[in-house]
Structure 1
Amino acid sequence: MTAKQLYTAAQVRALDSAFIASGTPATQLMKRAGRAAFEALLERWSHPEEITVYCGSGNNAGDGFVVAALAAAQRIPVNVVLLGDEEKFSEAAQAAYQYARQEGVIVMPPGPAPTSGVIVDALLGTGISGEVRPEYRQVIEQINASGLPVVALDIPSGLNADTGAECGLAVKAGLTVSFIGLKRGLLTGRGPALCGELVFDDLGAPEFIYEQVQSDITWPEYAELRARLPAREADAHKGHFGHVMVIGGDTGRGGAALMAAEAAARTGAGLVSLATRPEHVGAALARRPEVMTCGVISGQELEPWLERPSVLVVGPGLGDSPWSEQMLQQALASGLPLVLDADALNLIAAGRLWREGDTRDNWILTPHPGEAGRLLKTDTASVQQDRFAAVQQLQQNYGGAVILKGAGSLVAAADTPVQIITAGNPGMASGGMGDVLSGILGALLAQKMSPADAAALGASLHAHAADLAVEEHGQVSLLATDLLDYLGALLGD
């Protein structure tokens, strides 16, 4: 079992060229792509009242012409709205254009939006990097406002294939049919929201062409990641599975730290303890008596407790008070493996407890885009413009493993490909989700997983638990603690 490879636009063009060089003509590939898209369209909408194909000038338009020709051959009413310049068509796109005309397809300039049927987006493809030009923007606005189902060919027009960022404006599709190589921008940033259901077709590409193009982004399956967790021997005892201490829960924020501790216990840590403000001890013991809880009012009081744990989770509910800084300072000085989240990351970013240029290899950082921006001395928008570059820069700057959270979470570690985690759902946009993830990660580190493997499995486990929980609770009502009940089933025996 191996992870799927994800590619940049340039890498997919290299795959395409290698495919053609192997003896498959470009016109044949275009026909295969058009047919794959047409069949996917009919599988989703079996009897479309009509089909309107929007085409630009590139090979993406050629795929659209093939879709139109196939629809006409089956006597489905079809029109092509052409924004592109026929004189700029490649030889293959010109052949596809003539094929559509021979089938009686009507080609027209932009006009009023269709009011029925299915729209096919074959406007821009993977070549775009700057802002969408005004004439295309106007048509994309028309497509998005139509309320009709949209099928995007290869990638929604206006989505950057390399980064997942929206180039000013992009088509919002219900179905995207991607060809030859999966584009990495489909799976992170704005990609998941814009591409809808994702269907991939390799168009019959031979395996050897993929060996010619090296990708540094992978899309692992959960089962592959789960297999990295060491199995338990029949004579195992709690000492074999580590001791996680969660440090956090400043005044009024005790719940965050307790959620992290409970998640660590549910994910298999042999022992779990919690260092928090004294006023939270009673509630913690009542909620989860398996968690050993101590109240500490200073870093000096915390120090002796740090002799017992094997892993520290710092940040859930930590706050930004002098107490918070003392807790983090002691944790950093301990030399123990760490998971840092939330306020711990903000304190690191502020530079008072961590010198720029220092790195360590035994921690996992879990920023959301805002926290990532602070760690990189930039802003959220810049992080989201290229999440791949951001997570790699974070890893280079701080070491260890980094999870850049969000739709299509990214996991980076030294000397390994960036991994993308696509499970999860919008119901996770609620308080406490990151605290639960931190506890999961701490437990996996305690069970002797490397930071890289623990980060990837933890992010995937967390997201899959949310997907199971949302089936019962729904997206609007999903709570972070709802995930805890599903961790055991996903971890299995």
Structure 2
Amino acid sequence: MLEPSGRPLYLAEQVRELDRRVIAGGIEGFALMQRAATAAYDALRERWPRVRHLSVFCGSGNNAGDGYVMAALAVCDGLSVQLIAVRDPQSLSGDAARALEMAEKAGLRVQIWHPELDLAGDVVVDALLGTGLSGEVREPYRGVIEAINASGKPVFAVDIPSGLSANSGAVLGTAIEATLTVTFIGDKPGLHTGAAVAHVGEHRLASLGVDVHQHADVPPVATLLDAGLVDALLPPRRRDSHKGDQGHVLVLGGAPGFGGAALLASECAARLGAGKVSLATAPEHVAASLVRCPEVMVHGVRSATEVTSLLNAAEVLVVGPGLGQGAWGQAMLQVALATDKPLVVDADALNLLASWWSSRRRDNWILTPHPGEAARLLGSSGARVQADRLGAAQELQRLRGGIVILKGAGTVVAGPSDVGICPYGNPGMASGGMGDVLSGMLGALLAQRLPLEPAARLGTILHARAADIAAEAGGERGLLASDLACYARRLANPRNDDAGETR
């Protein structure tokens, strides 16, 4: 089975190298700038076809050049343009200076930014800082960005919202909150994870005629995961399939008083196609499990010695939902780690790993931390993890092996061969139990004989897409983890084109 490659993602310096190669190959730098500005302007007009007034902010360098060319195109198209320079335009050089000249020949007068300036445009164009920013935004750019955000006007970001790290998605002090961002040549990871999802708005890629796949010696740092992976990895089942073919998942969780998480994980494992699902939980949770999902074979256990037969029967273990960090949870994790079976490790099992098994590494597990849990595993802080989500996931994978799914906006899936970023999901997922549901889904996919890395990617996509569909049906606020199971089931069943059925 071949899986879709997804869109490649490149660091800012890699895209600059691709840009340099295109120019070295015979395309003049200013011609490439005009191509970028034209693609950006076309996207702006498509998004806001009735707009008649623009405020275009230009900083320095080629990002400013893109803005000046866009301003000239807008005037020639009959729009009114307020052209605002944050740096002295006479300090521009090279292609950016040529772009300024083009704007002036179109009849535009450049205004120098000052805090009392009123924004006349119906849409604001951000051509301030570009992808080259490395340190925190300083004045006067900080004040400009804050004024644009405070204006309440829709914002079009050229290449990247100013103040956002193209590589990590971190906000460098302050950043533009864009309505639409059009990025050039190669897509960047920092547009898809962490704080970026609140700043990029609608996202589009303009390749400018550059085929990044022709530059194999500039390998992407990550891949933007694609929902097409579902059909590629979950073909229709054989008509003679039976439950033994679909694997047996054992969920270890639900310490006394914490039964809900383990029930959620178990039910989702069943809904996503595991042939059999067993649950080892505290005895007081057995009745609730039978009522909620009688298809799950629930066992009340008080000690690790009572789960030996369950471990032997199962093919995949999910450990952590509702596990707790007390003696019961420690014992359950210890017996899970003693097996050589694939593991999905979540929640308190991750915290216990950080506290008691700080050097444990294995190649057949999936770790699913949120930023706080990742920080504990790395001996770092949640803020540092969020400042470089790709780097944190890759470092944790290097230290612990297997696959790391760093949850959050723009979930990162780091494996030994590649890093994926999930572009799906919504703020409604900020509620209890979402991670438990993901763990159950991952267990089910592993039980159905998917390899570790494809299962991690597919489970992340199904989890986020199910949440998106649930939010479309009922809204983000009030979305519950238990809402995801039925939608994930629909997504996991391939289309039957002959019958005219769709997901």
TM-score of the pair, normalised by structure 1: 0.97
Residue aligning to 2:452: 451
- Please state how far the C-alpha of 1:327 moved relative to its aligned partner: 0.9
- Please state how far the C-alpha of 1:488 moved relative to its aligned partner: 2.2
Residue aligning to 1:160: 165
Taking the aligned partners of 2:405 and 2:140, their CA distance within structure 1 comes to 38
Taking the aligned partners of 2:223 and 2:68, their CA distance within structure 1 comes to 32
What is the identity, as a one-letter code, of the residue corresponding to 1:255? G
Residue aligning to 2:497: none
Taking the aligned partners of 2:121 and 2:164, their CA distance within structure 1 comes to 25
Residue aligning to 1:370: 372
Give per-residue Cα distances to partners, 1:70-111, cap 9 Å, x unaligned.
111122110211112435434111111100001111211113
- Please state how far the C-alpha of 1:231 moved relative to its aligned partner: 5.1
What is the identity, as a one-letter code, of the residue corresponding to 2:274? A
- Please state how far the C-alpha of 1:209 moved relative to its aligned partner: 4.6
Contact kept? 2:234, 2:493, Cα under 8 Å: no
Contact kept? 2:124, 2:155, Cα under 8 Å: yes
Taking the aligned partners of 2:213 and 2:322, their CA distance within structure 1 comes to 51
Residue aligning to 2:479: 478
What is the identity, as a one-letter code, of the residue corresponding to 2:95? A
Q: Specify every segment of 5 or more residues in structure 2 that has no aligned partner in the other structure, as ranges.
A: 495-503
Taking the aligned partners of 2:215 and 2:486, their CA distance within structure 1 comes to 40
- 1:35 aligned residue (33, 38, 63): 38
Q: Following superposition of structure 1 onto structure 2, how do residues 84-483 of structure 1 map, counting pairs within 5 Å?
A: 84-111=87-114, 112-206=117-211, 209-229=214-234, 232-350=237-355, 352=356, 354-356=357-359, 358-414=360-416, 416-483=417-484
What is the identity, as a one-letter code, of the residue corresponding to 2:310? W
**Matched residue of 1:227: which SS?**
helix
Q: Identity over the aligned pairs, expressed in percent?
A: 53
**Matched residue of 2:490: which SS?**
helix
**Matched residue of 1:190: which SS?**
helix
- 2:47 aligned residue (41, 44, 48): 44
Give per-residue Cα distances to partners, 1:176-233, cap 9 Å, x unaligned.
0111111110001111110100011111124565434211311131213541346532
What is the identity, as a one-letter code, of the residue corresponding to 1:250? A
Q: Give the direction of change, closer, same or farther, for the CA distance of 1:47–1:230 in structure 2 (3 Å limit).
A: closer
Contact kept? 1:243, 1:446, Cα under 8 Å: yes
Taking the aligned partners of 1:422 and 1:435, their CA distance within structure 2 comes to 20
Contact kept? 1:299, 1:330, Cα under 8 Å: yes
Q: Give the direction of change, closer, same or farther, for the CA distance of 1:7–1:68 in structure 2 (3 Å limit).
A: same
**Matched residue of 1:245: which SS?**
strand
What is the identity, as a one-letter code, of the residue corresponding to 1:477? G
Taking the aligned partners of 2:213 and 2:374, their CA distance within structure 1 comes to 38
Q: Give the direction of change, closer, same or farther, for the CA distance of 1:322–1:208 in structure 2 (3 Å limit).
A: closer
Contact kept? 2:420, 2:457, Cα under 8 Å: yes
Give per-residue Cα distances to partners, 1:352-390, cap 9 Å, x unaligned.
2x142x310111000011110000001100001111110
Q: Specify every segment of 5 or more residues in structure 1 that has no aligned partner in the other structure, as ranges.
A: none
Could you say what the CA RMSD is over the residues aligned between the two structures, in angstroms? 1.4
Residue aligning to 2:68: 65
Contact kept? 1:19, 1:209, Cα under 8 Å: no
Taking the aligned partners of 2:77 and 2:332, their CA distance within structure 1 comes to 69
- Please state how far the C-alpha of 1:234 moved relative to its aligned partner: 2.2
Contact kept? 2:264, 2:433, Cα under 8 Å: yes
Q: Give the direction of change, closer, same or farther, for the CA distance of 1:206–1:267 in structure 2 (3 Å limit).
A: closer
- Please state how far the C-alpha of 1:49 moved relative to its aligned partner: 3.8
Q: Give the direction of change, closer, same or farther, for the CA distance of 1:392–1:225 in structure 2 (3 Å limit).
A: farther
Contact kept? 1:229, 1:449, Cα under 8 Å: no
- Please state how far the C-alpha of 1:47 moved relative to its aligned partner: 2.2
What is the identity, as a one-letter code, of the residue corresponding to 1:33? A
Residue aligning to 1:21: 24
Taking the aligned partners of 1:9 and 1:84, their CA distance within structure 2 comes to 23
Taking the aligned partners of 1:328 and 1:113, their CA distance within structure 2 comes to 61
Taking the aligned partners of 2:48 and 2:227, their CA distance within structure 1 comes to 31
What is the identity, as a one-letter code, of the residue corresponding to 2:434? M
Taking the aligned partners of 1:145 and 1:303, their CA distance within structure 2 comes to 61
Contact kept? 2:55, 2:81, Cα under 8 Å: yes
Aligned length: 489
Contact kept? 2:250, 2:310, Cα under 8 Å: no
1:74 aligns with 2:77: yes
Q: Give the direction of change, closer, same or farther, for the CA distance of 1:355–1:169 in structure 2 (3 Å limit).
A: closer
TM-score of the pair, normalised by structure 2: 0.95
What is the identity, as a one-letter code, of the residue corresponding to 2:365? W
Q: Give the direction of change, closer, same or farther, for the CA distance of 1:16–1:385 in structure 2 (3 Å limit).
A: same
- Please state how far the C-alpha of 1:462 moved relative to its aligned partner: 0.5
Give per-residue Cα distances to partners, 1:102-153, cap 9 Å, x unaligned.
1111211113241541100000000001110121101100000000010000
Contact kept? 2:319, 2:349, Cα under 8 Å: yes
Contact kept? 1:251, 1:277, Cα under 8 Å: yes
Taking the aligned partners of 1:15 and 1:289, their CA distance within structure 2 comes to 57
